[in-house]
Chains A and B, each alone.
Chain A
Amino acid sequence: MTIRTEPMTVNVGPQHPSTHGVFRVRITFDGEDIVEVEPVLGYLHRGTEKLAEERNYVQIVTLTDRLDYTSSMINNQAYCLAVEQLLGIEPPPRAKYLRTLTAELQRIASHLIAVGFFVQELGAFGTPLMYTFRSRERILDLFEMLCGARITVSYMRPGGVFADAPDDFWPALDQFLNDFEGELAELEDLLLNNEILMVRTRGVSPLPPDVAINCSVSGPVLRASGVNWDWRKMAPYDAYDQVDFDVPIGSSGDNYDRFWVRVQEVRQSLRIVRQCIEQIEPGPARLELPLVLRAAPGAEAYGRVEASKGELGFFLVSDGGISPYRCKIRSPSLINLTITEHLLIGWKLADMIVSLGSVDINMGEVDR
């Protein structure tokens, strides 16, 4: 006797807790196997690009905090680099180091979230996530010391950072770095070679490098597929040409590699932070600029950084006014989502959430 079956379409999200925000994906299953995937976006659209057109160049910094709210410092940095290109100015060296340092701290915080939630979606409910959040909490505490806010930092400004770090920041940072070495080693002991994690993620949803490149994927997802591509190395900005670090590269681009690359990048970020502390020298942290900036009419600039999720770019066009004529945001999460079909089709329902988690999207950035 045969049982007649037919494909079934299921909505995952936008309220599903595992989709990292309000991401909805319409999936057609044949039994447990995924045969069709259709991401539906737009539930968190706030019109950031349009709002940017009616704010002046400094006010837009507050908008960039809210793009990828797990890595606000890096968003600030990308935007400020774009404005500096537009105006043709260069921040003082101390500001460059402060930016590099805070951006790397933010990368650690963002990757800790990515790793923690990735493991949580595998079923390790709570424990590893709480360990990563404990470390992230201390980074956010450092940010509060620096700029008075933990998530919506608004720390950087075109022409530097808003103010130099307070005196008690440096001992606190040293203390954090010393403690975090141990915490990271613990996390690696707990997760990196865990048999259950290996069985669930090794060889699951591999992403070949040619597909990754064709989909314009960037960041840890691209590097996990074995492509050596990091804007911090390719086109160093701020103080990245002064510091020495490695770019971890995965081999097969499966879920485990994407997870592994993030853990390794945390180690490299720690290296960069330590070098920044050694190399930073006293000096001004901000250029003297007028409160309201104006660029030449017709000027264009594209500022890009290697954000924690991939290449984050701001394309600004000026018409000579106090606000940009156009502000296009190239957000890594949106473009990394284009590989959803390649990752999910042919795999089982239970791997779907894990594969989505391994891409580490952030809906604030996808919908803007």
Chain B
Amino acid sequence: MYGLEMAKGLLVTLTNLMRKPFTVAYPEQRVRQHPRFRGEEFTWYEERCTGCASCAKYCPLGIIKIVTSPSETAPLQGDKYLLETFDIELQRCMFCGLCVEACPYDALFMGSGFEEGQYRRTDLVISIDRLRQADKNPSTWFRPQLESMDYRPGTSRPLGWRDVGREGWRWHQREKAGMRLQGRNAEDDA
């Protein structure tokens, strides 16, 4: 009979009319964000970074700029490089996360935020000072150690540099940089 299938279709739309809306009104309500979400605000731990620039070399777009200089205090504190510049040009970043994958010292993490709109292009470059001062809410993307400790970015407390290492911070002791970490520890204890 002509029209029967159309009536069936109208029944479908009618049942959907009775359902709760699937969408959320974004600024007031938010959908649940998953811990692996690759957000815009990068999380960087200066204590872990050696300035090796693996992230800059592995970035497909080459938007990470790192300038280092040999540190004067190196022999005493174990510092290999002084980091002068660590700029991430967010306006060209595609948030693939390969820089995080390349980082051998677990110093760089994807962030969990996503509301980084700015009025000027220059404000979209994350400078080293902004990275230092930013809240440490790293995404668990490519960081299984964060997933195993049941950490949820945004709701859990911000993580310090000692919490985020691949095998605890002791992993660094074998490295040259480990000396620096030990030195810092002694400072903290004193």
- Which residues of chain A have a CB within 8 Å of any CB of chain B? 55, 58-59, 61-63, 127, 131, 134, 137, 141, 144-149, 152, 154, 162-163, 166, 186, 189-191, 193-196, 291
Contacts and interface: CB of A to CB of B under 8 A. Distances in A.
- Report, as a range, how many residues of chain B touch the other chain: 20 to 34
A148 B98 contact: no
B8 A189 contact: yes
Nearest to A61: B96
Interface in B69-106: 94-98, 101-102
Contacts of A193: 5, 8
Contacts of A149: 37-38, 95
Nearest to B16: A131
Contacts of A147: 36, 141
Interface string B1-32: 01101101101110110000010000000010
B137 interface: no
Contact of B9 (A141, A148, A189): A189
B35 interface: yes
Given A55-B60, A131-B16, A154-B96, A190 B37 contact: no
Interface of B: 2-3, 5-6, 8-9, 11-13, 15-16, 22, 31, 34-38, 54, 58, 60, 94-98, 101-102, 110, 139, 141-142, 144, 147
A127 B15 CA distance: 13
Given A58-B98, A291-B58, A195 B36 contact: no
Contacts of B37: 144, 148-149
B140 to A, nearest CB: 8
A197 to B, nearest CB: 9
Given A134-B22, A147-B36, A163-B144, A194 B97 contact: no
19 contacts: A59-B60, A59-B98, A61-B96, A62-B94, A62-B98, A144-B34, A145-B36, A147-B36, A148-B37, A148-B97, A149-B38, A152-B94, A154-B96, A166-B36, A186-B12, A189-B11, A194-B9, A195-B2, A195-B6
Given A59-B98, A194-B5, A137 B22 contact: yes
A148 B3 contact: no
B36 A144 contact: yes
Contacts of B94: 62, 152
Contacts of A144: 34, 36-37
A285 to B, nearest CB: 11
Given A144-B37, A146-B36, A291-B102, A190 B60 contact: no
Given A154-B97, A194-B9, A195-B2, A166 B38 contact: no
Contacts of B36: 144-148, 166
A127 B14 CA distance: 11
Nearest to B144: A163
Contacts of A191: 9
B60 A127 contact: no
B12 A62 contact: no
A143 to B, nearest CB: 10
A166 B147 contact: yes
Given A148-B37, A190-B12, A195 B60 contact: no
Given A134-B22, A163-B144, A193-B8, 9 more contacts: A58-B58, A59-B60, A59-B98, A63-B60, A148-B36, A189-B11, A189-B12, A190-B9, A195-B3
Contacts of B96: 61-62, 152, 154
A152 B61 CA distance: 15
